[in-house]
Structure 1
Amino acid sequence: MLNTQRIAQLTLRVGEPLLPLSRHVPFGIQKRVLEKTVERLFAEPLADGAFDLLDGRWLRLEVSDLGLAWCLTRTPGGLKLLRDAKADVTIRGNWKEFLLLASRQEDPDTLFFRRRLVIEGDTDLGLGIKNLIDSLDPDELPPRLWQLIRALGAAAKADASPVAAQT
């Protein structure tokens, strides 16, 4: 029987060559999926005002190695996603860095200070978003989803470490 770590490693190996194909998914589908997912996963922080720092301001997330980018803002109806908008701040990095951030396998400060994730534009807003990400409680996610994210992040971190490459 495969353990969670082995499944995560296998998922990364199989998924890595397929991920670049995601740039060919029509934006309308990306938008629907991402807005519904974010709305559901972050319902409580949204209701509590955690995302209000984006009210009338635009964040652009760029996943450089996949050729994907989305612009995100807070509206009275929730979070809104567009393909392009005049971004106040951009956070850019490769997909593994975003996975390490989401899975809490790497400290956000480490990712930003080592420029593995880059903030451009309104740095105050960027730091506010970094702090928002830090403040989100992973225990509010569905437990199986959080387990999967953690396992994928751990596999990505192990894959990137020099020790893993030698063994």
Structure 2
Amino acid sequence: MNLVSLALRVGEPLLPLGRHLPFVLQRELMERAVAKVFAEPLADGSFNLLEGRWLRLEISDLQLAWCLTYDGVRLRIEERASGDVCIRGRWREFLLLASRQEDPDTLFFRRRLVIEGDTDLGLGVKNLLDGLDPDQLPPRLWLLLRRMGEEVRQASA
């Protein structure tokens, strides 16, 4: 068993425990992570489509959700906000999307990821994420995402 398989096997039962972390801690960790991971797209205005708008991300099988907006400087995360659009799915589908192991259109067409609300905004966010260059991610993070996504894709095949 390789290290990625082991991480997924050990991590999967622990993931649902994330919903028990205080939201203040979730927000702090996530805001720092997205600021670092999306530094270049934030600087070039790629996230302007979220300015004054709210995106709700729900990971249904983990019972986790966050609301994101762009305030003109950074991505902000709140526990609750009047969401303009919601993208919902299981954690494995989000991992497949992030690791580019599954085409985003396929995930949405097969309703493995669902967009509700302002579908134009949802499609804009989907296209934004799909258009991000993985080379802008820290190399170790991209390698880990890709390998975990490959593992999940093979396990579900």
Judge same fold: TM > 0.5, yes or no.
yes
Distance 2:97 2:4 in 1: 16
Distance 1:159 1:46 in 2: 34
Partner of 2:36: 40
1:75 aligns to 2:71 (yes or no): yes
One-letter identity of the residue aligned with 2:46: A
Partner of 2:150: 154
1:107 aligns to 2:103 (yes or no): yes
One-letter identity of the residue aligned with 2:131: S
Partner of 2:12: 16
Distance 1:78 1:30 in 2: 16
Q: CA deviation at 1:10?
A: 1.2
One-letter identity of the residue aligned with 1:83: E
Distance 2:154 2:5 in 1: 9
Distance 1:141 1:71 in 2: 22
Percent of matched pairs sharing the same residue: 65
One-letter identity of the residue aligned with 1:119: I
**How big is each residue's C-alpha offset from its partner over 1:16-48, in whole Å with a ceiling of 9 and x where there is no partner?**
111000100110000000001000111110010
Describe the SS at the equivalent of 1:90: strand
**For structure 1, which runs of at least 5 residues remain unmatched after alignment?**
162-167
Q: CA deviation at 1:76?
A: 2.2
Structure 2 counterpart of 1:60, from 43, 56, 78: 56
Q: What is the Cα-based RMSD across aligned positions, in Å?
A: 0.8
**For structure 2, which runs of at least 5 residues remain unmatched after alignment?**
none
- Pairing 1:111-150 to 2, within 5 Å after superposition: 111-150=107-146
Do the aligned partners of 2:54 and 2:83 also contact (CA within 8 Å) in 1?
A: yes
Q: CA deviation at 1:12?
A: 0.8
Q: Larger C-alpha radius of gyration, 1 or 2?
A: 1
Q: TM-score, normalised by structure 1?
A: 0.92
Distance 1:150 1:26 in 2: 29
**How big is each residue's C-alpha offset from its partner over 1:104-151, in whole Å with a ceiling of 9 and x where there is no partner?**
000000000000000000000000001001110100111111100000
Q: CA deviation at 1:97?
A: 0.2
Describe the SS at the equivalent of 2:80: coil
Moved over 4 A (4+): none
> How many correspondences in the alignment?
157
**How big is each residue's C-alpha offset from its partner over 1:77-106, in whole Å with a ceiling of 9 and x where there is no partner?**
311100000000000000000000000000
Distance 2:103 2:86 in 1: 19
Distance 1:76 1:124 in 2: 20
Q: CA deviation at 1:7?
A: 1.4
